[in-house]
Amino acid sequence: MTAKKTVKKTKYIFVVGGVMSGVGKGITTSSIGKSLQARGFSVTALKIDPYINVDAGTMNPTEHGEVFVLADGDECDQDMGNYERFLGITLSRDNYMTTGRVYQSVISRERNLEYKGRCVEVVPHIPMEVIDRIKRASKQADADIVMIEIGGTIGEYQNILFLEAARMLKNMHPQDVFFVLVSYLPIPSKIGEMKTKPTQYATRTLNGAGIQPDIIVARSDRELDEKRKEKLALFCSVRKEDVISAPDVESIYEVLLNFEKQHLSTNLLKKMGLRPKKNDLKDWNAFVSTMKESQKTVDIAVVGKYFKTGDFMLSDAYLSVIESLKYAAYSLKRKPVLHWIDSEEYETNPSALKDLKKYTGVLIPGGFGSRGIEGKIEAIRFCRENNIPYFGICYGMQLMVIEYVRNVLNIKDAHTTEVNPKTENPVIDIMPEQKKNIRQKNYGATMRLGTYPAVLKNGTIARKAYKSKEIEERHRHRYEVNPEYIARIEESGLIFSGTSPDKRLMEIAELPVAKHPFFLGTQFHPEFQSSPLKPHPVFVEFLKACVK
C-alpha cells in the first residue's frame, strides 16, 4: 500500500510595524499564532531583528530588555519567549535572525566559494538568505503556518531588506504569503480625536516596498470607532472587517480574546483558504478568567539591578521571571504584586533590610558583575534568618551559596571569582576547562548555554516540585559552585538537591523544610520554561511557600 503523498502548502504571515515601535508587534504575532493553533493548525514563529549584533547575548538588558535563552542555547530577543509561552512550543536558533547573522552567513558562503564566482550582492543575495532561513525554520517545525515578525518600523533603513525578502516570498508564493500591519493611532490630547493619518502614511510606505497589508491591527489607547475603521479601509485598501481594533488592555493575555471577538482567526483562515479543524481556547479562556478573578494578593520582592534608566524604572530585563511569577500565582488563584528593590539600597542603608518582612517572599534573579552584590547577599541572609521564602535564580543561587558559606560556615571572605578573582575562598568559580577560554578573552565560548539535564535527590523540595527524578533546564552562566566546598557545605545543612548526572555541577541548592519554609536556588533559569498553561513547578512551589 502506498500512502498518498500530500505536499504541504505552508502559509506565511508577516507582522510588520507602522508609525512607531513598542506597540505590541510581538504580542500580536504571538496572539495570532495562538488563535490559529487553537483552530487546529501547527504554528511556528520567527523573529527578525534588524541590528548587526549576531545574538542578543552581549546586549545591555537596560537597553534591550531580557536576553531570552532557547533550548539549543541561542541568546535572543525576549519576543522569542513570548512565542514559546503563547504557543507552548520549543523554538531553535533557526527561528531567530539578525542582520548580523544574515550577512555573516552570506559572507562565509562567499568565502567558501559557494556562489561559484558570481558577484554577490546585497540584493538579491541578502533577501534570498532571509527566505532560506524562513523556509528552513518552517520545514524544521513542519508547520502549517509560520508567523514572522519583522522588527523595527516601516520606513526605517534598517529593515528594508527584510521587507524585500517578504515581498519576494509573496512573489514566489502569491497564495501563501500574508501581511499584518500593526500600527498606532494617536489621540493628541489637544485635539481629542483619534488620528488615522499616520497609519495611512505607514500603509503607503509599505506599499512603496511592494507590500499591501491584508490586516491592519490598529493599536490605540481606546477602541476604534466605525468611522475610523471606514477611513482606514478606504485609504489603506483593506476591507472594513480587516481593520482590527486593538485598544490597550490590562494584560497581554487578553489581546488574543479581543482579536477573536472580531473574528480575526476566522478571517485569516478564509484568506489563506484553510478550513478550521476546531476552536479550542478553553484553557486560555480559563487562564484569563482566573487572572481577572484572583483577588487575594501575594507580595513578592524582586531584588536586582538594571532597574533605573534615567527617570524610568525598567523591569523588562526580567520579563520571563515576572511572567513565571504571575503564572504560578494565578495557578494558586492569587494576584501577584511585585515590588522592585534595587539591592544597592541595602549597601548604603542596611536598616532598609527589615522592610523585607513586609513581603511574603523574595526573589533574586540572574545577573552579572559586581554592582549591588553585597546588598543582595545581605538580603539573602535576612531571608534565611527570618524564615522569609527565598528563591534565587542563577546568580541568585550562587550568592545564596556564598552567603551560607560566609555566615554559617563562617568563612568570611568566601566569594565568587567573578567579583573577586583573588579570594582565598572561591566558593563560586570557573570550572578548570573554562579557564583557558577566559584567559584568551574568548568570552562567547565560556558560557554554559541552553538545556542540560540534572538529577534530583529524594526527599527534597526540588524532587517534590518536579515529581520526577530527571529534569532538563536552560542555562546561561559561566561560574559554578566550586566542587572543593561541596562536602563542607552539605555537612553544615545546605543540600544540593539537583546536580548534573555526573555530579560535578551543582544545579539546585536548598535548605530542608524543617529548617526554613523555602530557601532554594537554581543554577539554571526555570523562567525560560514556564507558560500560562504550564506554570513552572519550582515557581509554583515557591509561591505555595509564600501564601502559606
First to last CA, the chain: 61
- Choose between 394 and 405: whose C-beta lies nearer to ligand GLN: 394
Of 15-23, 153-161, 274-282, 365-373: span binding ligand GLN (CB under 6 A): 365-373
In whole angstroms, what separates CA 402 from the centre of its chain? 28
The rounded distance, in Å, linking the Cα atoms of 105 and 95 is: 15
**Nearest to ligand GLN of 48, 56 (CB atom):** 56
Which of 195, 368, 407, 457 binds ligand GLN (CB under 6 A)? It is 368
Q: At what angle do helices 78-87 and 25-38 cross, to 10 degrees?
A: 20
The reply on whether position 479 binds ligand GLN by CB under 6 A is yes
From the list 120, 140, 134, the residue with the least C-alpha distance to 172 is: 134
Question: Which residue, 51 or 368, is less far from ligand GLN as judged by CB?
Answer: 368
Q: What residues have CB less than 8 Å from 132, skipping those under 6 apart?
A: none
Whether residue 377 contacts residue 413, with contact meaning beta carbons closer than 8 Å, is answered with no
Applying CB under 6 A, which part among 81-89, 132-140, 364-372, 400-408 lies near ligand GLN?
364-372
Distance of alpha carbon 55 from alpha carbon 49, whole angstroms: 9
Q: Does the protein bind ligand GLN through residue 418 (CB under 6 A)?
A: yes
**Cβ closer to ligand GLN: 58 or 108?**
58
Tell me the per-residue interface mask from 374 to 413 with ligand GLN, x by CB under 6 A, - otherwise. --------------------xx--x---------------
Give the number of residues in contact with ligand GLN, rule: CB under 6 A. Answer: 11
To the nearest whole angstrom, how small is the minimum distance from the Cβ of residue 396 to ligand GLN? 7
Give the DSSP H/E element, type plus range, for residue 117.
none
Contact assessment for residue 427 and residue 414, using Cβ atoms and an 8 Å cutoff:
yes
In one-letter notation, the amino acid at residue 480 is E
Q: How far is the CB of 365 from ligand GLN (least distance, A)?
A: 7
- Choices 22-30, 102-110, 170-178, 363-371 (CB under 6 A): range interacting with ligand GLN: 363-371
Query: Smallest distance, Å, CB 321 to ligand GLN?
Result: 11
Q: Which of 135, 125, 55 is nearest to 97 (CA)?
A: 55
Q: Does 305 bind ligand GLN (CB under 6 A)?
A: no
Tally the C-alpha atoms within 13 A of residue 40's C-alpha that lie toward its C-beta: 8
Cis ω for the linkage preceding 350 (within 30 of 0) = no
Per CB under 6 A, the segment of 202-210, 295-303, 375-383, 474-482 that binds ligand GLN is 474-482
CB of 369 to ligand GLN, least distance (A): 7
Q: Does 367 bind ligand GLN (CB under 6 A)?
A: yes
User: Catalytic residue among 527, 536, 541, 546, which?
Assistant: 527
Name the closest residue to ligand GLN (Cβ). Answer: 366
Q: How far is the CB of 526 from ligand GLN (least distance, A)?
A: 12
Q: Which stretch binds ligand GLN (CB under 6 A): 90-98, 361-369, 377-385, 533-541?
A: 361-369
Q: What is the rounded radius of gyration, in angstroms, for the C-alpha atoms of the chain?
A: 25
User: Roughly what angle, to the nearest 10 degrees, separates helices 160-172 and 122-141?
Assistant: 70
> Which residue stretches of 468-536 are H helix?
483-491
Q: With binding defined as CB under 6 A, does residue 318 bind ligand GLN?
A: no
Q: Catalytic: 546?
A: no
Grid cell for residue 531: 507558560
Position 193, amino acid: E
Q: Which of 76, 236, 383, 394 is catalytic?
A: 394
> Does the annotation mark 527 as catalytic?
yes
Asked whether position 219 contacts ligand GLN by CB under 6 A, the answer is no
* C-alpha cell of residue 130: 532571509
Looking up cell 516596498 gives 209
236 is catalytic: no
Residue number, 395 or 452, with CB nearest to ligand GLN: 395
| Of the candidates 132, 106, 154, the residue with the CA atom closest to the CA atom of residue 46 | 132
366 binds ligand GLN (CB under 6 A): yes
Residue 528 binding ligand GLN, by CB under 6 A: no
The letter for the amino acid at 333 is K
**Smallest distance from the beta carbon of 6 to ligand GLN, in angstroms?**
45
Of the residues 125, 475, 525, 536, only one is catalytic, namely: 525
User: What are the b/e assignments for 337-347, b being 16+ CB within 10 Å?
Assistant: ebeebbbbbbb
Beta strands in 169-306 (DSSP E): 177-184, 215-220, 243-247, 297-304
478 in contact with ligand GLN (CB under 6 A): yes
Side-chain half-sphere CA neighbours of 248 within 13 A:
9
Stretch of 106-114, 337-345, 476-484, 533-541 contacting ligand GLN, by CB under 6 A: 476-484
Where does this chain bind ligand GLN (CB under 6 A)? 366-368, 394-395, 398, 418, 476-479
Active site residues: 394, 525, 527
